């Protein structure tokens, strides 16, 4: 079996580490690994199985130094880094699979979910974009339904875990939760105004603009001129590109929730051809990497519907709560859950890599 030399840019971050993990778990044939990160992490040692790797500082000089030894680079270091370094890798003939938003809407760059549009990969396109985490899990479910019934309209509300904002965000949730619980334990009188209490205990500049513990924040990323957030517009624009259907009407609302790992989505679609609940279950149950958990009257609560807790560290996308929309003749509603660090990022990138091997691109 042919083996490949893989670079990971942003190797010490949460997604970078999951990329390393997925290469191991999925037994991708790696010959050599080159781990790049910022100067802060350069020189650190990362253990992978029995092998130890020294983190290389991401500089132009070091990229050119190792370029001839690298086949593919997996990027998870942010849009500004990708804008600077992805072209540098590509100019050396190295394929780049980029997890940032830098290249997603570039018309010359494939935006790939292997279960949906692997045909967009080619030997000529050196930079490949990994879609936004919340978009990936949605299109995995929507694509087979779109093929059968032609989706005309999508409305989606996401409930996104704090890990989507990085390791510091997870620490913020942990610290706030511990702080609130500890202070509640010490209270000797009934709290009548919980909201005022929580607000009074916000301290210091954090990752999120408001407290996330025991709270919801209806803002992910910055607001745009149309009053939608950047995250919401990513879902709108990326879904149209991946499904190759610019005519679909889409509206999104993205909410950050106090969950450590796993994004959830409430999705409403309107189709040209009517589908019954049973037909939807059959279509989705036959799809690769998709698991239907939709038995609402089952005595076992784990079989009724999926939640983020069960999806954590799982390599599939879960769907449940499938039902016909009461307000629309051809409307359907369902609930989608997936691990945002895996299928929403690292796993999808490695699956793209596997697809490239399958299609003899590398």
Catalytic residue among 146, 254, 263, 311: 263
- Whether 302 contacts 320, CB under 8 Å: no
CA-nearest of 355, 362, 351, 346 to 70 is 362
Angle at which helices 347-358 and 14-25 cross, to 10°: 40
Count of alpha carbons within 13 angstroms of residue 234, beta-carbon side: 24
* Degrees, nearest 5: CA angle 287-154-230: 105
Structure tokens at 64: 């050119």
| CA R_g for the chain | 21
- For residue 304, the SS3 value is coil
Cβ within 8 Å of residue 161, ≥6 positions away: 257, 259, 260, 261, 262, 263, 308, 340
Please say whether the beta carbons of 99 and 14 come within 8 A: no
Instruction: Let me know if 311 is a catalytic residue.
Output: no
Asked if 133 is an active-site residue, the reply is yes
What's the sign of the alpha-carbon dihedral 204, 341, 333, 298?
negative
**DSSP labels for 134-199?**
HHHHHHHHHHHHHHHH-EEEEEEEEEE-GGGG-HHHHHHHHHHHHHHHHHHHH--S--S-HHHHHH
Q: Which of 133, 146, 254, 311 is catalytic?
A: 133
| Sequence-distant (≥ 6) Cβ neighbours of residue 87 within 8 angstroms | 127
Catalytic machinery residues: 133, 263
């Amino acid at each position: 079996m042919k083996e490949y030399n893989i670079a990971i840019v942003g190797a010490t971050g949460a997604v970078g580490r999951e990329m390393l993990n997925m290469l191991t778990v999925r037994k991708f044939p790696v010959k050599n690994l080159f781990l790049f990160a910022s100067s802060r992490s350069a020189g650190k040692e990362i253990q992978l199985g029995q092998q130890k790797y020294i983190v290389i500082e991401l500089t132009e000089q070091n990229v050119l130094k190792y370029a001839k030894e690298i086949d593919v680079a997996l990027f998870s270091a942010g849009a500004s880094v990708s804008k600077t370094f992805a072209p540098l890798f590509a100019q050396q003939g190295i394929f780049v699979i980029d997890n940032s938003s830098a290249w997603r809407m570039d018309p010359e760059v494939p935006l790939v979910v292997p279960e949906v549009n692997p045909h967009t990969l080619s030997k000529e396109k050196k930079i490949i974009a990994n879609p936004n985490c919340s978009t990936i899990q949605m299109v995995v479910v929507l694509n087979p339904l779109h093929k059968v019934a032609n989706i005309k309209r999508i409305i989606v509300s996401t409930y996104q875990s704090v890990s989507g904002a990085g390791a510091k965000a997870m620490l913020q949730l942990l610290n706030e939760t511990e702080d609130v619980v500890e202070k509640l334990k010490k209270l000797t009188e009934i709290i009548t105004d919980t909201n005022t209490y929580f607000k009074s205990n916000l301290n210091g500049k954090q990752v999120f603009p408001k407290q996330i513990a025991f709270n919801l924040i209806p803002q992910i990323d910055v607001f745009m001129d149309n009053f939608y957030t950047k995250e919401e517009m990513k879902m709108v624009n990326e879904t149209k590109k991946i499904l190759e259907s610019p005519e679909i009407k889409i509206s999104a609302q993205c909410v950050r929730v106090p969950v450590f790992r796993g994004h959830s989505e409430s999705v409403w679609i309107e189709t040209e051809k009517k589908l019954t609940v049973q037909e939807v279950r059959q279509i989705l149950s036959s799809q690769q990497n998709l698991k239907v958990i939709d038995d609402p009257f089952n005595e076992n609560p784990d079989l009724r519907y999926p939640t983020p807790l069960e999806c954590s560290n799982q390599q599939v996308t879960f769907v449940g709560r499938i039902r016909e929309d009461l307000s629309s003749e051809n409307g359907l509603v369902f609930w989608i859950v997936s691990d945002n660090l895996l299928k929403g990022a690292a796993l999808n990138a490695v699956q793209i890599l596997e697809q490239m091997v399958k299609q003899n691109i590398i």
